[in-house]
Every structure is written in C-alpha cells, then in structure tokens.
Amino acid sequence: MMHKQLILSLVLALGSGVLAQGNILRIPLINDPIMNPVIAPDLGSILINKVIFPGLVRPDENLRPTPDLARSWTISQDALTYTFRLRQGVKWHDGQPFTAEDVKFTFDLARNPNSGSRLASDFEPIERVEVVDPLTVRFVLKRPFAPFLILLGHNAGIIPRHLLQGRNLNEAVDFNRTRPIGTGPFRVTRVQAGASITLEANPDYYGGKPRLAGIVFRIVPDINAQTAQLRAGELDFITIEPSNLSAVERAPNIEVRQVPAVQHFYVGFNQRLPLFRSPEVRLAINYAVNRQAIIDGVLRGYADYPVGTIPTALRDYFAGNLPKITYDPNRARQLLAQAGWRPGPDGILRNAQGEPFKFTLQVDRGNPSREQAALAVQQDLRRIGMDVSLQTMEFAALVRDVILPARFEAVLTWWTTPPDPDQYSFYGINQSNNHVGYANAEVDRLLQQGRAERNEVIRRTIYARIQSIQLRDPTGLVLYYPREIQAVNARLQGVPNLGIRDALRHTEKFFFGQ
C-alpha cells in the first residue's frame, strides 16, 4: 500500500511539474533589467516592469486609459484636480496593503529629478499629490495637462513606500535587481544575473487569478538567437525584425502579427557639440541619407517614411500633408557649404579652421536592422565628405554609459513614446529624456502649449506647427516609423492587439490553448 501511495505521489508531482512547465510564458529581454519603474531607462527594464508594477490606469486596445489600480476617477471642471478612487484589498507581493500613501510616495519621487527619476519631465505639471483617505488620492496640477491620464498608463508603475521610503532609489540594489515587490499579476521568485528572471502567478492579484502559472524573462541580447529559440520552442513571444521573417512565417507553431507602434527610430546627434549645433548641418544630414532605401532594403517595407518625430500611428496628429525631406545629396552639400564646410584635398569636409567633419556613430550590437541601418547612414554620409566611424556596443552598456550621460557624438536608437503627441520630455529644452540636447525655443514653447491644450482641434494645429519647424531645424535624423512585428507561439492566446509594451499590462489574461 505504501509503495502504491509513493508511486501515486511521484506521478502527481511529475504531472503537476509538467503542467506548470507547459503553462509558463517565456519572453526575451536584451539586457538585465532594473526592476523599478521610476528609474528604469531601458527597454528590457520597461518590459518586465509592466508585469510587476501596475499603474493607476492601463491602455485598452484603442490605447485609451482604463482602470487598473484606480477603479475610477473624477476631473474637476477647470481640469486641474484629478481624484482617484483606489481598489480595495490590493496587496503588495509581500502581503502588505496597498494604499494612497504608496501613490503619493511614487509620484513625489517621480517628479523629483534628484531622485534619479526618468519620469520627472512627464509629471512636472503636478503641483502636489494629496492623500484624502487610504483609498483616495488627489492630484492637483499647476495647469491643465492634456496627456495626464495617458502618461499614468505608460511607464508610471507604483512602487512600495514601506520598502523604499528614505532610500536612494539608485542604491536600492536589492530591490532593483533581485527582490522587487509590486502589486502585479506575477511576482519575482528567482533572478539569475545575465540569464533569466522567473516570476510566478500572484494568488492575491486584485484582477483575479492569472491564467498562466508563471513567466520567465530570459536575457537574450541577439535577435537572431531569439528567433532561433522561438523556432526551437524555447521562447513564446518575441518582436522581430523584417530580416527574421523568413525564419518564422512558415513555421507551423508560430504566428506572426503586425501591431501599431508609437515609435520613431533616429540617429541622435549631440547638439552640445559645435559639430552638430547648426540646424543647417542637421538638415544637410537629412538630405544626405537615403532613408527610403533603408526602409525598402533593410526593413523590407515594414516601416513608414518620416516627417518628424510624431509617427503615423498617431493618425490624428501626424502631419502627412507636410513635404518630406527626400534624398538629395546635392542639396546636402549646398547646406553644408552655407554652414562653412567645404571638401579638402582628401575629399573630407573641413571648416574654416581646417578641422575635419569627423565623428563616431554608435549603435547596439545584436540587432541586424539597426546595425545595417547604421552602416547605410555611414556610407551615405561618407559620400558627401563626412568621416564617420561605426562602433557597436552591448545594449545595456550603450544606454547606461553612452546615451543617459550624453557621452556620444552620434547614436542610432529609438523612442517609444506615449500614445499622445506630447514629446516635451524628449525634445523640450533641458528635459530628462532630451539626450541629444535639442534646443529650439519655439518648439519648446509649442510643446508646453500642446501639453496644456485640451481642445483637440487646437492641439492638432500646435503639433502640425512643431512638425513644420522640425523640417527646418531637425531634432536629429529620424530614420523611419517601424511597424512592430510580433512572432508568438501559436498556442498563446488572450494577448491584446497592442505593442508588446502595452500588451504586457494585461498578462493575467494570457493563456496557452490546445
């Protein structure tokens, strides 16, 4: 009898283990994450933080804000006061109760640049945050702020006051790297640096029991390796480049989807340097690079030609009627001559002091589309006399050591912006995400005006004007607006029709079908 019970116990244990393993979602990250949404700057961190740290609201399939930690809200007639009613019974992953004090704590830090916050520009319009009662929190704004609700659902996850109060967020390594505590549908159980982060379903999740047993985020920096692992059944949900399509589109166990992406890929030039300060120089570079060739060749048509920094995904605000800056190397040479750059005996452009037009373009290693786009930019700029070198770096190092401290001459990267035309955080003067140092006083004024304007017709006029100015004084070289291509395990269901960043706000709905 004892022998039979032992065998039965082993069978049940093995069976449950197999079931759990088959009910675990596996997603790649390109870098080890910082699991703290207030200070996390990079894509890998943002993806996992979407799962661990819900916000007050989250986007639906039309990118409209819907309730999350907040069950409802009201807005005052003057649009200066937002009052949020929080869900009852929400617990942190360590069992402590979630309250309005956590919300106030998070946003007091988020709008304080001295905290290391990457959200300070987004939430600068907040005058103060008030705790009305344990389940009611009030935001009082300095001025009307049109994208407020949308930004609350973008990257603004709530962090726990009881664990982080009085601590320097950047020095809270235990929390940020190994033991993050959120309120989301999955909680971290194991971290293997450079390898993986394992999450299990949160039985106390306020939105109901998740349908998956867990999620494993694997560190896989190279997109070709991600694709190979998807084909081998070792990953379940990745975003791919057009060059990877042939490897997955006919695989019977893989489904390929296209979803809207509020992104612009660009070459950012450090405008704190004299080399790139002149708008004529940046405009010349826009004429010198054959962006249509990059879209057709490197991206195989899976991108749209840019006008400025507002992508076509924001249909109501994209100024498609404006003229595009198309490939015209002769016009580029004319503009460079006007800016004082002329070819020397070796064909390299030189200024009046005889200094060469020479710089290094940096790009992350492991993504063929970005590496090939960088090579195309280098070749086109060399044709007009610029001495351009390429340097590839591991993504996390590029962000940490190059982009954030603005220690670059030129860098090829991208922004995923909120589903709103507001880009003050990215291109307003001295704002937290303005790594390129773009400083156009008129654009800065219009960006602030666009933030405060609630009338949609007037807002569209404001952002059309910004895009018009960018045709004369470019923020950099906007290369293209990509279309996000997702390759997923064909059994994976319940995923909303959203980009991966926003889809991960809904992981409690994900499940594997038969």
Q: Where are the domains of the chain?
A: 21-32+174-259+484-512, 43-164, 263-482
Task: Report the share of the chain in percent with pLDDT over 90.
Answer: 86
- Average pLDDT of span 361-367: 94
Tell how strand 358-364 and strand 410-416 pair up: parallel
**Position 508: which residue type?**
E
pLDDT tier at 113 (50, 70, 90 boundaries)? confident
Q: How many CA atoms lie within 13 A of 242 on its CB side?
A: 16
Lowest mean pLDDT among 99-108, 179-188, 468-477, 494-503: 494-503
**Closest CA relative to residue 103, chosen from 68, 76, 66, 130:** 130
Tell how strand 492-493 and strand 511-512 pair up: antiparallel
Q: What is the pTM of this model?
A: 0.83
* Average pLDDT taken over every residue of the chain: 93
pLDDT tier at 294 (50, 70, 90 boundaries)? very high
- Average pLDDT of span 370-397: 96
Q: How far apart are CA 447 and CA 250, in angstroms?
A: 45
Query: How many Å from the N-terminal Cα to the C-terminal Cα in the chain?
Result: 36
Helix or strand holding residue 462 (H, E): helix 456-470
| pLDDT at position 127 | 97
Categorise residue 175: left if φ over 0, alpha if ψ from -120 to 50, beta otherwise.
alpha
SS3 annotation, 226-289: HHHHHHCCCCCEEEECHHHHHHHCCCCCEEEEEECCCEEEEEEECCCCHHHHCHHHHHHHHHHC
Q: pLDDT tens for residues 169-182? A: 999 999 999 999 99
| pLDDT at position 13 | 33
- Average pLDDT of span 238-248: 92
Q: What superfamily in CATH does domain 263-482 come from?
A: Dipeptide-binding Protein; Domain 3 (3.10.105.10)
SS3 annotation, 401-450: HHHCCCCCCEEEEEEECCCCCCCHHHHCCCCCCCCCCCCCHHHHHHHHHH
| pLDDT at position 21 | 53
pLDDT of 18 strictly over 60: no
Q: How far apart are CA 146 and CA 125, in angstroms?
A: 10
The 10 Å Cβ neighbour count of residue 85 is 17
Q: Which CATH number, 3.40.190.10, 3.30.360.10, 3.90.1150.170, 3.40.50.300, labels domain 21-32+174-259+484-512? A: 3.40.190.10
User: Are 180 and 479 contacting, i.e. CB atoms less than 8 angstroms apart?
Assistant: no
Q: How far apart are CA 256 and CA 249, in angstroms?
A: 6
**Closest CA relative to residue 54, chosen from 163, 172, 179, 153:** 153
Instruction: Classify domain 43-164 at the CATH topology level.
Output: Dipeptide-binding Protein; domain 1 (3.90.76)
pLDDT tier at 396 (50, 70, 90 boundaries)? confident
Q: pLDDT tens for residues 78-88? A: 999 999 999 99
